[in-house]
Amino acid sequence: MTGASSHTQMIRAALGAEQKTERFNAAHNFLRSRVIATRDTPIGRDFLFAVDAAGTVAALKELAEIEHEHGGDLHFNYTEVGGYILLRIAGSSSQRADIEGYFD
């Protein structure tokens, strides 16, 4: 199991309720299929999405809310930048594998 798998599996286990797990899976899978580019940063990784992709903002909001509530150890922030949406996932150096493989 990769670091990313262990992190997402931990989130799924923490959610417990089937409805919340389905919401997480839907947002995660939607975004995974729409990543345009990535960029490593000293504190994590940036993921770039097109603004015009229907549902991107809603999926990012859902994912960030779930991660903030149940994830705790990785930090998720997103913003619109010049026609794109930038999602930054940040954490410690020991969490690098979880961050890099989040959408693998």
CA dist., res. 70 & res. 83, Å (int): 30
Per residue in 9-63, pLDDT tens? 788 888 877 888 899 999 999 999 999 999 999 999 999 998 876 789 999 999 9
Per residue in 58-68, pLDDT tens? 999 999 999 88
- 3-100 CATH pick, 3.30.1360, 3.90.550, 3.30.60, 3.40.50: 3.30.1360
| pTM summary value | 0.85
CA dist., res. 21 & res. 82, Å (int): 32
Break the chain into its structural domains and give their ranges: 3-100
Q: Of 93, 16, 27, nearest to 55 (Cα)?
A: 27
